[in-house]
Amino acid sequence: MFTLALIVGSCSSDGNDDAQPQYNLDALQGKWYRVGGNNLDANGMEVTVTNDQGVLTDPANTSLQVDNIKWKDIEATGETNYEHGELGSDQNYYNGFMELSSDDTLRIRVNSPGAGNVQKWVRTFIAPIAELHECEPYEPEAFSMAKDDLWVEAGEEDEFPGLLPASTDPAGGYYIVTLESTGPLPSQPWIDISVSGEEVPVINGTSAGTDTPLTRKVAFSAHPGIAYDVMAKPFYNASPSSDVYPEPYKISWEYVGIMDCYEPNDNFDEAKFIPKDEVIEAYANKNNEGYGIQEEQDDYYKVLLFQPARLQVQLLQSPSDDFIDLNVYREGRGEIVTTLTPISGMPGDKEDGALYLKTTNATLDVGTYYVRARTFMNDGKTADFNLGEPLPDTWTTPYTFTVTTVE
């Protein structure tokens, strides 16, 4: 009976013409490196396949751990197609589908929404150029000082070369300067402020204060590396008398530095590299460099594209008294056409404080691109406190933006 059964079984097997083709996992064995997809943090991940399991041997910049089973229970469903369980960042497994192309590239789709559900893996890992970030933070200066002196006679002009010292802050900052008549019969004071060594002042008087003691008080944006001269005189006294003089007065000043880690970056040649997908923070202040001269209105940045994509810049925050115009340029410095999408305000009309995003119409090749941030604030270099003018918001509120890729 045992012999007969073997014969019957053998005949039955030989007559089966509908046997399904058998696929194997040989082509998947060994190491795989993740180089693309919709989760950039996972690029650089390494998985080693042994039999039907893919074990994580390098988690890259993810929350997963070495020795996690990244690909579970791999099953061949065709010569180049596979199904498996894909380990997500939440430590749960999701249905995954693999397709192996002729160039030994493994593409994975995961049946779950969100970042990481599209992946590209290769056999030989070539590390991408690192995202460069040329931000150099520093501690901005802050100090205050005062000087007491005398006017000996009416109309006396007292000059103080370099009284306001030069700042070393790359972005500069601002001075608040007060001239105060302190005598019993105070004169209305007058103050001029100029770049050290220049005759024509950048601050040629200010509005007169009406409260006692009589003052002239002004704030102005200070350029890095430049000292400022101060001239003080008794401009007017309601009761001129020899008893007025000598008249005491006081000059006091406060400096507040601004921290912008990308300065100087006022032109293409000074552009600083910034990473994609990070919030960039900078200031749009324009500093007094001399009479009729001001700092360039633009800030320039460079971004790297490691694979073809469209670039998108989004203005997240803007000073309330300025419009920040972001545009994208090629290495040859030609502007790239973008589509404007308003977020708040009226960016199409360059309304102060408006927010928006711009996306390049064309897919860009791998390479280096520029982002220019232009300020449209025409003044913003002084604040006359006796007129009740506040400090410009541009001095105290940074603009922030991101650069991202869009497939």
- Residue 177 sits in a domain of what CATH number? 2.60.120.380
- Is 90 inside a domain boundary? yes
In a shared domain, residues 384 and 277: yes
What are 44-53's contacts with CB under 8 Å, separation 24+? 44/125, 44/127, 45/70, 46/125, 47/71, 47/121, 49/25, 49/74, 51/25, 52/25
- Is 123 in contact with 104 (CB distance < 8 Å)? yes
Residues 284 and 348 in one domain: yes
User: Is residue 263, in this structure, part of any structural domain at all?
Assistant: no
Query: Residue 12: inside a domain, yes or no?
Result: no
Q: Give the closest residue to 228 by CA, choosing from 171, 163, 177, 291.
A: 163
Do 99 and 187 lie in one domain? The reply is no
Is the pLDDT score of 17 beyond 70? no
**What residues make up the domain containing 280?**
268-406
Last residue of some domain: 70, 92, 122?
A: 122
Q: Over the stretch 241-283, which tens digit does the pLDDT of each residue have?
A: 557 788 999 999 999 999 999 999 999 999 999 999 999 999 9
Count how many Cα atoms sit within 13 Å of the Cα of residue 282 in the half-sphere of its side chain: 31
**Same-domain status, 332 and 230:** no
On whether the CB atoms of residues 295 and 287 are closer than 8 A, the answer is yes
CA nearest neighbour of 373 among 323, 320, 303: 323
- 284 and 358 assigned to the same domain: yes
Res 292: pLDDT: 59
The reply to whether 74 and 22 lie within a common domain is yes
Could you tell me how many residues make up the chain? 407
My answer on whether 187 and 299 are in the same domain is: no
3-state secondary structure of 14: helix
Is residue 382 assigned to a domain?
A: yes
Domain boundary pick from 237, 257, 277: 257
| Closest CA relative to residue 234, chosen from 197, 166, 173, 179 | 179
- Mark whether 104 and 169 lie in a shared domain: no
Overall average pLDDT of the 214-234 stretch: 93
Question: Among 77-91, 154-168, 224-238, 325-339, which is the least confidently predicted range?
Answer: 224-238
Query: Last residue of some domain: 257, 276, 294?
Result: 257
Q: Residue 90 and residue 28: Cα distance in Å, rounded?
A: 25
- The reply to whether 137 falls in a domain is no
List, for residues 311-332, the tens digit of each pLDDT value: 999 999 999 999 999 999 998 8
Per the structure block, which two tokens stand in for 292?
């009729």
The answer to whether residue 295 is domain-embedded is yes
Report, as an integer, the average pLDDT of 38-60. Answer: 91
- What is the number of structural domains in the chain? 3
384 with 302, same domain: the answer is: yes
Are residue 302 and residue 377 in the same domain, yes or no? yes
Residues 210-240, buried b or exposed e (16+ Cβ, 10 A)?
eeeebbbbbbbbbbbebebbbbbbbbebeee
Cis peptide before 240 (omega within 30 of 0): no
Q: Are 294 and 393 contained in the same domain?
A: yes
